[in-house]
Structure 1
Amino acid sequence: MLCEFVDGEAVFKRLYICLEPLKRGFKMNCRSFIGLDGCHLNGVYGGQLLTAVGIDPNNETWVLAYAVVEMETRESWTWFIDLLAKDVDIVNSYGWAFIYDKQKGLPGAFEDIVPNAETRFCVRHLWDNFNKTYKGKVLRDQLWTCARATNVPCFNYQMEVMKTLDSNAWEWLAEKPPTQWSKSHFRTHIKCDMLQNNLCESFNNSIKTARDKPIITMLEMIRCLLMRRIQ
């Protein structure tokens, strides 16, 4: 646990928590794959909760660490990921993968702390952005077909199909690095082909009742939730 105050003032700024059983369980059994997300706190103090969630051997969620911060910025994400990397012993980030939803400042934090890690963008959120301009079930299904392609030739073929359906939609999608959203370009040694950041979405949904409580009360509710979950 690490608590940080505003420089020169006794004013709470940030709080990072990585409980020892969660850290030990992750390092012993979980894959080198972590979902990152942030959600707003609805209490009188405001702020946001950053979370890091992994996958256990049963392909179920394993909450690893979380932090209360003032807002989502490159600075706060860098602070969080730096502490997280130290806790799980990330020395060579090449062997790790992170999935996220384009949180503010997060790409810059990856560059600062884990520059060699694989970074994936949640395809559900990619489709949300795509759907603002290019609507319809046919284009939606084709986007997901491209994302689920398991090898490069198949991916290239499906992208050509997208081009025949709508050249503008193809151009929009072609600008996005396929290493971030298509199975065909994921690193194989991580042994995880997850396309959506449901890890964090599920956790954020499970703590809705805690997010409007005072900070200490909220953290105790989360701790008890995780304790019951593991038990």
Structure 2
Amino acid sequence: MPEPQKDAKRIARILNDGDYDYDGSKYLFKLARRRAGLKPPDNRKNTVDRMTREETDRFIDAAYSADGRRGLMLRTLLETMLRVSEFVSLQVEDVSFEEGLVIVRDGKGGKRREVPITESLSRELNLHVGGRNTGPLFQSPRGGTYSARRIQQIVKETAKEADIKKRVYPHLLRHTMATRLVNSGMPIEHVRKVLGHESIDTTRVYAETATESVQESFESVLASSGHSL
């Protein structure tokens, strides 16, 4: 007879010991389903979790309050919408300050994409890099690269300091920023390219999620105009 509790603990141990990030975990489960001859669940939700604008502001403020370097690191993770595995691999030479771009090199087949960054973030990163021309964009305290697990811990710690009650993890920052871009009118195809999605269908979920923030936008407009519900 199957023992779900024991099996769940085994799976959790594998994910933890293997240092899998969000995408790695998804891929692992996909392979396991295929090996077992199982079909993916049909009840896929048509929205993704995200932080509200207020929560996002509190999160970034808490990061900068803790340490300016941590603030810049998490701001970069949020605004570039990189997967945590891509983020920890970023090198100084992957940032084009003149063009305002971050070059993301995907290990899967050597794919490459360009992610635009704001002038403000570009200036701050330039100051952070200083005279360095090579090496990790964000060096760990030991001078090497951060592990994906450590970034996950930093995100979790910062969310706790910001008093955000929901579970906050690196991929949630990606969801949050992608939804904001779609909600602001950025074409879905452009969002797809920035996120590095193979299929436009994967990106469409952000359009669905954007409609969820209509109430939030409505209340914000009323507040700024001096009205209330």
TM-score higher than 0.5 here?
no
Higher fraction of helix: 2
Relative contact order (alpha carbons < 8 A, sep ≥ 6): 1 or 2 greater? 2
TM-score in terms of structure 1 length: 0.24
TM-score in terms of structure 2 length: 0.24
